[in-house]
């Protein structure tokens, strides 16, 4: 079958596409920014193609072929505004539906959230509204509704991991007693892939969930048990949603706005309705314990396929990465360093391994201090780290930077700052003629931006000189 996958560079899309290819399907990957689809662009597999399209801009959809059999709707709005989020999700779904109705597609498969509680968060209400919009008389809609998805790189897994591994004693909000039914990412992918062309599932909606009903507190304690850590949890009924959001924001790698969204969702029970879907697709969901163990196996093997941290919603960059490749020169401050190198291959390897647990090679204390201040002022700090310890690709998060260009053949890496700044900043590493070129560029915004740059000059001199020396050594 010829399959259209929207949201192909997202957490689910990146993992679903290899399964579809292994089954011999032809896959069309629809992405907003083709430069981020590196793992699909670089393949020689004739069964896969990448098209750049934005379902918020109907005129861009002409790039998508119309001779498709099935389409996956895996799109989520990138807006940080709750009001804008709802309207953009609605607009995107409407444009998708109108386009798919002009194709030969017989089925659309949509991954949503479990919406059985009488009181739903804005996020879940929007997901429910999208399902209503996607229903059509031209094609058959199959909807799978999942609760918390557990897997390496998933937001739920990373947040639980942060809480358990950082806090021996947790003073937590009362929503830790809310019940939910977590499901492993492996099982979600099985449901999505096995639903292809199955007429028993046409025009139907199914809740998909794991075998256990657990509270968030039980999930944290089970996680700590698997990790061999003793943890104590004290819940406070007086902790407000705002305080809860700040608690998640400061302890975990999530942004404040995402933390606030999660807090509202975590106060709602996510319990699925039983159906015969497991029997129809011959799937027996694994336990929460097994899902956690599987996630750590992937982490140990450095084989995390996708991570929520690499989504643009985890930082301030909201546009296509290539729009920032042309680093400005007018009205900018620059710190330019050059150093002769004797082993370009080794230096290139160091550049590609920079940040995260590897650190920045010099003045790591100052990098951490800058990350701490960024966190205090509502930024992301250094909490995101990096998904892979030795590989970098366009769109990847790297501490408080975003990779916007990465080409080992050209020996060039370009980063864009997502920290809180009175302006914009870029950091470039380039090797040419056995010389390492390191350039930090800052485009100030107003007087505050200029004051920021001049106040940071002594630290820049110390850090950037030390860093290039370590990279070139």
Q: Give the pLDDT confidence score for residue 316 in this predicted structure.
A: 54
Half-sphere exposure of 160 (CA within 13 A, CB side): 30
Given a cut of 60, whether residue 319 has pLDDT beyond it is no
Contacts of 296 (CB under 8 A, 6+ apart): 152, 226
Given a cut of 80, whether residue 255 has pLDDT beyond it is no
Given a cut of 80, whether residue 79 has pLDDT beyond it is no
- Rounded to an integer, the average pLDDT of 459-471 is 92
Here the tokens at position 5 are 């996958």
Q: Give the pLDDT confidence score for residue 195 in this predicted structure.
A: 94
Query: Where along the chain do its domains lie?
Result: 324-472
Q: Give the pLDDT confidence score for residue 39 in this predicted structure.
A: 64
- Interatomic CA distance for residues 14 and 306, integer angstroms: 6
Contacts of 153 (CB under 8 A, 6+ apart): 11, 304, 305, 306, 307, 308, 309, 387
pLDDT digits (tens, 9 = 90+) for 90-118: 899 999 999 999 999 999 999 998 888 77
Given a cut of 80, whether residue 383 has pLDDT beyond it is no
The burial of 379, by beta-carbon neighbours within 10 Å (0-12 exposed, 13-18 middle, 19 or more buried), is given as buried
- Interatomic CA distance for residues 81 and 122, integer angstroms: 11
- Interatomic CA distance for residues 101 and 86, integer angstroms: 23
Q: Give the pLDDT confidence score for residue 78 in this predicted structure.
A: 47
Given a cut of 90, whether residue 189 has pLDDT beyond it is yes
Q: How confident is the model at residue 80 (pLDDT cuts 50, 70, 90)?
A: very low
Q: Give the pLDDT confidence score for residue 154 in this predicted structure.
A: 79
Q: Give the pLDDT confidence score for residue 431 in this predicted structure.
A: 94
Q: Give the pLDDT confidence score for residue 427 in this predicted structure.
A: 93
Q: Which residue in 139, 156, 291, 151 sits closest to 201, CA to CA?
A: 139
208 beta partners: 146
Given a cut of 90, whether residue 3 has pLDDT beyond it is yes
- Rounded to an integer, the average pLDDT of 334-357 is 92
Task: Decide if 314 contacts 308 (C-beta within 8 A).
Answer: yes
Q: Which residue in 392, 245, 415 sits closest to 307, CA to CA?
A: 392
- Rounded to an integer, the average pLDDT of 302-321 is 55
- Three-state secondary-structure class, residue 139: coil
Q: Token pair 């995390």 is at which residue?
A: 304
Q: Give the pLDDT confidence score for residue 285 in this predicted structure.
A: 95
Contacts of 52 (CB under 8 A, 6+ apart): 31, 32, 33, 34, 60, 63
- Interatomic CA distance for residues 448 and 94, integer angstroms: 43
Mean pLDDT of the chain: 85
Q: Which residue in 227, 255, 58 sits closest to 155, CA to CA?
A: 255
Q: What's phi and psi for 329, nearest 5 deg?
A: -120, -35
Given a cut of 80, whether residue 314 has pLDDT beyond it is no
CATH number of 324-472: 3.30.530.20
Q: How confident is the model at residue 158 (pLDDT cuts 50, 70, 90)?
A: confident
Task: Spell out where 163-320 has E strands.
Answer: 169-173, 179-180, 183-184, 204-208, 214-215, 232-236
């Amino acid at each position: 079958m010829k399959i259209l996958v929207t949201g192909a560079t997202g957490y689910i899309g990146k993992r679903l596409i290899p399964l579809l290819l292994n089954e011999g399907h032809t896959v069309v990957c629809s992405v907003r920014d083709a430069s981020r689809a590196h793992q699909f662009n670089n393949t020689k597999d004739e069964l896969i193609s990448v098209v750049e399209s934005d379902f918020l801009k109907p005129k861009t959809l002409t790039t998508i072929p119309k001779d498709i059999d099935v389409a996956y709707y895996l799109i989520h709005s990138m807006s940080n505004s709750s009001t804008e989020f709802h309207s953009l999700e609605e607009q995107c779904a409407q444009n998708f539906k109108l386009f798919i109705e002009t194709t030969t597609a017989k089925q659309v498969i949509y991954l949503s959230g479990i919406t059985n509680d009488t009181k739903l968060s804005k996020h879940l209400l929007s997901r429910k509204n999208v399902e209503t919009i996607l229903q059509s008389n031209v094609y058959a809609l199959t909807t799978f509704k999942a609760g918390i998805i557990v897997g390496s790189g998933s937001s739920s897994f990373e947040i639980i991991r942060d809480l358990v591994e950082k806090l021996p004693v947790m003073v937590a909000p009362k929503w830790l007693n809310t019940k939910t039914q977590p499901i492993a990412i492996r099982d979600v992918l099985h449901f999505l892939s096995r639903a292809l062309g199955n007429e028993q599932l046409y025009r139907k909606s199914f809740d998909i969930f794991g075998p256990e009903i657990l509270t968030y507190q039980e999930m944290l304690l089970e996680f700590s048990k698997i990790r061999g850590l003793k943890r104590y949890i004290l819940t406070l009924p007086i902790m407000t949603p705002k305080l809860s959001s700040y608690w998640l924001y400061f302890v975990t790698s999530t942004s404040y706005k995402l933390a606030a969204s999660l807090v509202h969702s975590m106060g709602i029970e996510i319990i699925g309705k039983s159906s015969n879907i497991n029997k129809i697709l011959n799937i027996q969901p694994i336990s929460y314990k097994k899902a956690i163990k599987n996630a750590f196996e992937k982490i140990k093997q450095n084989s995390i396929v996708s991570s929520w941290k690499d989504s643009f919603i985890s930082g301030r960059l909201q546009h296509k990465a290539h729009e920032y490749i042309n680093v400005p020169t007018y009205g900018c401050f620059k710190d330019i360093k050059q150093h002769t190198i004797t082993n370009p291959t080794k230096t290139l390897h160091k550049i590609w391994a920079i940040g995260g647990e590897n650190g920045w090679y010099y003045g790591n204390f100052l990098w951490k201090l800058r990350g701490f201040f960024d966190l205090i002022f509502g930024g992301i700090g250094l909490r995101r780290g990096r998904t892979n310890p030795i590989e970098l690709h366009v769109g990847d998060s790297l501490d408080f930077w975003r990779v916007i260009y990465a080409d080992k053949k050209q020996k060039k890496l370009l980063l864009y700052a997502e920290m809180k700044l009175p302006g914009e900043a870029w950091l470039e590493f380039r090797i040419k003629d056995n010389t390492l070129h390191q350039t930090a560029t800052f485009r100030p915004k107003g007087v505050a931006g200029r004051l920021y740059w001049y106040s940071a000059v002594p630290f820049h001199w110390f850090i950037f000189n030390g860093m290039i020396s370590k990279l070139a050594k």
